[in-house]
């Protein structure tokens, strides 16, 4: 319903901000890490939003960029993960690091997030990898003669970006603009995310 809100930052609270848009104050719930970076009071700000509707809970959640919003939407699709847990995770781990942890089965990185135990971390990895299986197999078939430099790292980065909800066309378009030859998986992910967020 709301893609983003642009207005004057009127208030900062615990887990939320209030953005004044032409005299109407929108309370937007955000990760604490994002609240610290969103801007100063009385400044013009832009926040990407997700309109959350449940039977007994209607809230507007806000994020600094589309990567955080995509991660939020992704986490909500996992059984047993609610909005509060998803916001906590986004406060503690960057979307690129989260996606990489899923792809590399890095349970130890995920359990460092408050409220995420070993079973939850394992479930996140299993369920998110299941979501990727179909698209990844189709992609590998289409690109069996891939000419990417640093092929293994690039493939891993592509899978991580798919975890965040990016489709193969936009990922491929971004990869064409960078030289992945001597880059790590993390470097490739972050470089592509920078291009995709423009």
What percent of the chain shows pLDDT beyond 90? 38
Separation CA 182–CA 175 (nearest Å): 14
Query: Which pLDDT tens digit goes with each residue over 23-59?
Result: 999 999 999 889 999 999 999 999 999 999 988 889 9
Q: Name the nearest CA neighbour of 48 among 40, 38, 58.
A: 38
Instruction: Return the axis-axis angle of helices 95-103 and 151-163, rounded to nearest 10°.
Output: 110
Burial 135-165 (b: 16+ CB within 10 A, else e): ebeebeeeeeeeebebeebbbbbbbbbbbbb
SS (H, E, C) 93-129: CCHHHHHHHHHCCCHHHHCCCCCCCHHHHHHHHHHHH
Query: Which pLDDT tens digit goes with each residue over 55-108?
Result: 888 999 999 988 899 899 989 988 888 898 999 999 999 888 898 888 888 999
Q: Where in the chain is the domain with CATH 2.40.50.140?
A: 4-94
Q: What does the pLDDT read at residue 149?
A: 59
Residue 184 has a CB neighbour count (10 Å cut-off) of 13
Query: Which pLDDT tens digit goes with each residue over 112-136?
Result: 998 889 998 998 888 887 766 544 4
- Average of per-residue pLDDT across 164-181: 84
Task: For the chain, state the CA radius of gyration.
Answer: 18
Separation CA 2–CA 103 (nearest Å): 31
Residue 21, both tokens: 């848009």
Query: Which pLDDT tens digit goes with each residue over 14-24?
Result: 899 999 999 99
Q: Please, is 57 exposed, middle or buried when counting C-beta atoms within 10 Å of its C-beta (0-12, 13-18, 19+)?
A: exposed
First to last CA, the chain: 22
Q: What does the pLDDT read at residue 133?
A: 55
pTM of the model: 0.76
Higher pLDDT, 171 or 168: 171
Q: What does the pLDDT read at residue 81?
A: 87
CATH class of 4-94: mainly beta
Confidence class for position 145, pLDDT limits 50, 70, 90: very low
Separation CA 65–CA 49 (nearest Å): 9
């Amino acid at each position: 319903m709301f893609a983003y809100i642009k207005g004057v930052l009127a208030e900062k609270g615990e887990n939320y901000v209030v953005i004044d848009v032409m005299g109407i104050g929108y309370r937007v719930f955000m990760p604490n890490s994002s609240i610290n970076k969103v801007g100063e009071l009385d400044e013009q700000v832009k926040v990407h939003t997700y309109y959350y509707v449940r039977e007994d809970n209607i809230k507007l959640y806000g994020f600094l960029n589309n990567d955080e919003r995509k991660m939020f939407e992704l986490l909500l699709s996992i059984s047993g993960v609610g909005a509060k847990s998803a916001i906590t995770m986004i406060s503690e781990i960057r979307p690129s690091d989260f996606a990489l942890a899923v792809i590399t089965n890095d349970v130890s990185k995920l359990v460092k997030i408050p409220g995420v135990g070993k079973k939850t971390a394992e479930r996140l990895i299993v369920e998110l990898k299941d979501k990727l299986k179909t698209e990844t197999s189709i992609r590998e078939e289409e690109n069996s003669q891939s000419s990417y430099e640093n092929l293994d790292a690039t493939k891993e980065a592509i899978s991580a970006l798919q975890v965040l909800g990016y489709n193969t066309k936009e990922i491929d378009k971004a990869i064409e603009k960078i030289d992945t030859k001597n880059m790590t998986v993390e470097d490739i992910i972050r470089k592509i995310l920078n291009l995709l967020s423009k």
